[in-house]
Structures are given as structure tokens and as C-alpha cells.
Amino acid sequence: MGRLENKIAVVTGATSGIGEAVALMYVKEGAKVVLVGRNESKGAALVSKISESGGEGLFVKCDLRNYDEIQKLKAAVDAKYDHVDILFNSAGVLVHKPFLEQNKEDFDLILETNYRAYVWMMQTFIPGMVEAGKGSIINVASISAIWPELNSYFYGAMKAAVANISRNVAKEFARKGIRVNCILPGPINTGMTPDFIKNDKEAQQGMIDTVCMLGRLGEPDDIAYPAVYLGSDESSFVTGTNITVDGGVCISN
């Protein structure tokens, strides 16, 4: 049996990067997964891949900046399953600019995608978890929430907000059987890496050098492994915490 056998998981940002890796690993561990994203063709391809492996996946297109679409997502989940065991929030965007160049549009995009959507998703799915008397919520923040990082000002601020509200929500709902935790990834090799780094070997090496202990970038599966742990019953005594997965980042770099 898998570590998540017969659990129902909702994964946002599931059509790329960390979300995709988590969704596929959840299926591998026995979960039935609702994949949430905006890329319909990628979502359909992932569902086919999951079906071919003998797993069960459902793709729901949803713009998490839109409250009404989140409610439609909830209705689609309710039509298929009678409860949700795991909510994994990982959808996010990155604006990488000097502070004085970041504008209102950048701020709104980061606020609505990287923070408000997490709040709305928790408010939407927690009532069902309360009714079931159990549930695990895992929010993806970032080491930017606790370490200073140039050019990621709004991003880091919203990730800090995610970490903060996760701990507060954990405190309110712990006695109702719901656990809420954050994963704080360091530099991960995903599509969110800014183009100027992807196209510049010196910049790439500079990012790798910040991981001064292990000396490499993380891969999406490096986040999926702790996501499995936090979604499983193995972590039944773990709530209200941040798990930093950064390969040993050194702030001095």
C-alpha cells in the first residue's frame, strides 16, 4: 500500500513545476488527485498519464485569482468525492525586478495569486475537513519568507504572509483534526526561474552558489517528498510549522 492510499488530494499549480511533481507523487503513493491549473492541454495530458499508470486524476481548470471559479472548483470536487483529505497549495507567480521598478500591477498579481488565493482555498475547503474531522493543508511558501532576496520584494512579502497565516489557521483548527503546515523551498529548478538566469551561465552559477552546503539546485521531487510526508498519517503530530527545504542556503551569498 502507498503512504497516501485512498486519500483525496487537491493540488493547485498542478500543471507544472512543484505542483506537477507533487500531484504525480501523490498518485504514486495511492492518492486520488484533483489537479488544479489553467493549462487545459497540460492538465488533460497529466490525467491521461495518471490513468495509464493505474491511478485516478481529475483536472479542473481554475483561475485562483477569481473567487467564483474557486467555488466552481469546489463544486466539481464535491460532485466527484465526498471529502478532501489533503489540500496542497502551490500555485504562484514571480516578479523579479528592482524595488523601485515593481509597480501596482506587479503587486496586485503577487497578492492575488501568491496569498489571497491561498486564503480563499483554505476558507473554501476547511469546512468540509471540519465536518470530516480530519485534513492536512500544505502551503508552499519560500525561503524568501525568512531570508532577504534581491528583486523578489513583493514575492517574499506574500510568502511570509502565507507562512504566518498558515500557523495561525493551524492553531484555530488543530483540535478539529486539521493540520496546516508550510514548505519553504529554496532555489528549485522550475519554470519560475527568471529568464535572465536561465540564459546566463554566470547567473545560473550564482544561484547555485547560494546553496553553499549541497551546491546544487533542488528539483521539484525534492519538494514532493516532504509533501507526501505532510499529507500522510506519518505526520499526525506535525502542525503549525515551516519545513525548510533549501539544500543549505547561506545568507552571506
- Which are the catalytic amino acids? 155
Residue in 3, 61, 66 with CA at minimum distance from that of residue 30? 3
CB of 100 closer than 8 Å to CB of 150: no
From residue 88, give the alpha-carbon distance in Å to each of 22, 148, 184: 8, 25, 13
How many other CB atoms are there within 10 angstroms of residue 74's CB atom? 19
Contacts of 128 (CB under 8 A, 6+ apart): 78, 83, 84, 135
Instruction: Give the relative orientation of helices 40-52 and 17-28 as an angle to the nearest 10 degrees.
Output: 20
* Pair type for strands 86-89 and 56-61: unpaired
